[in-house]
Amino acid sequence: MSHFRRTVRGLLVAALVSGCVSQARISSNDIDTLVVKAMQEFSVPGAAIGVIKDGVVVHAAGYGVSELGLPDPVNAQTMFRIASTSKAFTAASLAILVDEGKLGWEDKVVDHIQEFALYDPWVTKEFTVADLLTHRSGLEGGAGDLMLWPKPNKFTREDIIAALQYFKPESGFRTEYAYDNLLYIVAGELVPAVTGQAWEEFVDERILGALSAERCFAGRIPLDQMQNLAAPHVVIEDTLQVVDRNRARANVDLAAAAGGVRCSLEDMLKWSQLQLRQGALADGTQLFSEEQSRIMWSAHTILHPSAEQTERDRTHFRAYGLAWRLADVEGYKHVSHTGSYTGFHSSVVLVPELDLGVVIMLNASGNAARAAIAQGIVKPYLGMHDVDWVEYFSREQAPEQGAEPVEVPAEIDFRSGSVGAPLSTYAGLYRDPWFGNVSIEFIDGNLWFVSEKSENMLGRLWPYADHTFYAYWTDRTLEADAWLSFEIDEDGQAQRMNVLQVSEEADWDFTDLALIRFTDE
């Protein structure tokens, strides 16, 4: 950075500290321009964007349509699935119980849920309530997510707790960050363990009810509220399509405590205001204490800023709190979390020192759009107006020149493959201790992968080479075709099936599966 730029930046920081540019902000017209440009650039059919500053909602608007091909516009009451931004509701639930003396952050999980068990008995014994929320368990990132997605499936929360003992750790306990969803579901189950009330009922009554959030639900959505719903969209083979399986449903979501809340922009702004007030409602009543707010916004798991974050945001420190990501951005504490669910992307960004909150809700899978909108709104409040963030993230998303293309199904000549054995060699029932039964069975003369508990995991197997098949899922919105490699015994029979995703960018990870051929013998 040049001496001139360092000097200008130094003067700007000094001005921020002294309050000389405390009124720096972005106008609603500029937000409109930013959002529309991002939606057009990144194929987003609808968005709801809100800003709350100094306790006042200064922007709350819908853009585009709720569902492609239909005329219904998005507005501040349109309900979206908010994905992992739901996690903060779980942390707040437990914070309330800590305030009430019914729970402690350092309580051992097994003291409240006796069935809880991890692969290592010592880790099981030492695992605390806080550990459930901090992604430092030692498990591989996303371990067991196939129990949650794709939907619908037949797994239960009891199945999830029972499955944890089968996941071998990838790193030492409390040594590394690895994002996890299953343990947030366990955290949600602490609520009924100590109160007798289901997590979703507790959130709906104690948090959303207290906020008068009438279009936000952790639990079952009343039928009269099942309208003005955003539909999820994803680009498949260069075409934007609705992901029907991921629509907001009235029923309680298995993964509610990790990512199942459905909410409108208007109510997410109320939630953001509660956070900025450190747990205080509009009338001054503390829903959770300032002490619990401080704990949730304190570093529990240390992360490391990338070179890009350091250069772009002047970020020197990053950490994960309790359901919140923490960083310093341009000299300010930045508290945030994203939600990513096939067809829905969301984000909540809080800058407590500026009493600023930003809510972003998209009805499409749009990492770049979400990031561009977040930066484009927050940075002007920090006095920085000189970056076209849509252009910036468009460049970041573009493939590098000369990069190898990602292998896609159309580039594989399925019909020319040969696996080296009769197809009957591979047919049969295979069993994984947590995922359950998978049948490799003949349908119209071809082998198919059929999951007993996850009905969308259904796909034709195309012979490829050396006891390996290409699993081509019937539901193309999964975007997670897989290689199936069979291990053959001395008698020429398949005894084990290994599953590996074709693309490293796929949302699904199959490496936890241990599918062993099942026989009655």
- Is residue 228 domain-shared with residue 137, that is, in the same domain? yes
Which one of 330, 364, 397 terminates a domain? 397
Q: Is 386 helix (H, G, I), strand (E, B) or coil?
A: coil
Q: Is 358 helix (H, G, I), strand (E, B) or coil?
A: strand
Instruction: Give domain status of residue 402, yes or no.
Output: no
Instruction: Give domain status of residue 17, yes or no.
Output: no
Instruction: Give domain status of residue 257, yes or no.
Output: yes
Instruction: Give domain status of residue 4, yes or no.
Output: no
Give the Å distances, CA to CA, from 173 to 104, 121, 332, 453: 20, 12, 31, 30
pLDDT score recorded for residue 413 = 56
Instruction: Report yes or no: 378 and 16 within 8 Å, Cβ to Cβ.
Output: no
Residue 397 buriedness (CB in 10 A; 0-12 / 13-18 / 19+): middle
Instruction: Report yes or no: 512 and 269 within 8 Å, Cβ to Cβ.
Output: no
Residue 365 buriedness (CB in 10 A; 0-12 / 13-18 / 19+): buried
Which one of 397, 426, 455 terminates a domain? 397
The one-digit pLDDT tens for each residue of the chain (521 residues) are 433 233 333 333 333 333 334 457 899 999 999 999 999 999 999 999 999 999 999 999 999 999 999 999 999 999 999 999 999 999 999 999 999 999 999 999 999 999 999 999 999 999 999 999 999 999 999 999 999 999 999 999 999 999 999 999 999 999 999 999 999 999 999 999 999 999 999 999 999 999 999 999 999 999 999 999 999 999 988 899 999 999 999 999 999 999 999 999 999 999 999 999 999 999 999 999 999 999 999 999 999 999 999 999 999 999 999 999 999 999 999 999 999 999 999 999 999 999 999 999 999 999 999 999 999 999 999 988 889 999 999 998 765 444 443 444 444 555 556 788 999 999 999 999 999 999 999 999 999 999 999 999 999 999 999 999 999 999 998 888 999 999 999 989 999 999 998 887 777 789 889 999 998 65
Q: How big is the CA angle at 337 (ends 317 and 369), to the nearest 5 degrees?
A: 105
pLDDT score recorded for residue 158 = 97
- Is residue 285 domain-shared with residue 168, that is, in the same domain? yes
pLDDT score recorded for residue 509 = 80
- Is residue 385 domain-shared with residue 413, that is, in the same domain? no
Give the pairing type, strands 262-264 and 301-303.
unpaired
Q: How big is the CA angle at 144 (ends 140 and 145), to the nearest 5 degrees?
A: 105
- Is residue 80 domain-shared with residue 185, that is, in the same domain? yes
CATH number at residue 416: 2.40.128.600
Which one of 377, 397, 417 terminates a domain? 397
Instruction: Give domain status of residue 74, yes or no.
Output: yes
Q: E strand or H helix at 63, and its extent?
A: strand 56-64
- Is residue 387 domain-shared with residue 353, that is, in the same domain? yes
- Is residue 200 domain-shared with residue 294, that is, in the same domain? yes
- Is residue 316 domain-shared with residue 433, that is, in the same domain? no
- Is residue 457 domain-shared with residue 391, that is, in the same domain? no
Instruction: Report yes or no: 392 and 402 within 8 Å, Cβ to Cβ.
Output: no
Residue 303 buriedness (CB in 10 A; 0-12 / 13-18 / 19+): middle
Instruction: Give domain status of residue 481, yes or no.
Output: yes
- Is residue 373 domain-shared with residue 431, that is, in the same domain? no
Instruction: Report yes or no: 301 and 327 within 8 Å, Cβ to Cβ.
Output: no
pLDDT score recorded for residue 416 = 56
pLDDT score recorded for residue 399 = 55
Instruction: Give the domain extent around 470.
Output: 409-517
Q: Bridge partners of 430? A: 438, 517
Q: How many CB atoms lie within 10 A of CB 504?
A: 7
Instruction: Give domain status of residue 404, yes or no.
Output: no
**Spatial separation of the C-alpha atoms in residues 15 and 12, rounded to whole Å:** 5
Q: Is 150 helix (H, G, I), strand (E, B) or coil?
A: coil
- Is residue 460 domain-shared with residue 494, that is, in the same domain? yes
Instruction: Give domain status of residue 9, yes or no.
Output: no
- Is residue 173 domain-shared with residue 253, that is, in the same domain? yes
H and E: helices and strands count for the chain: 13, 21
- Is residue 44 domain-shared with residue 163, that is, in the same domain? yes
pLDDT score recorded for residue 4 = 28
Count of structural domains within the chain? 2
**DSSP 8-state symbol, 227:** -
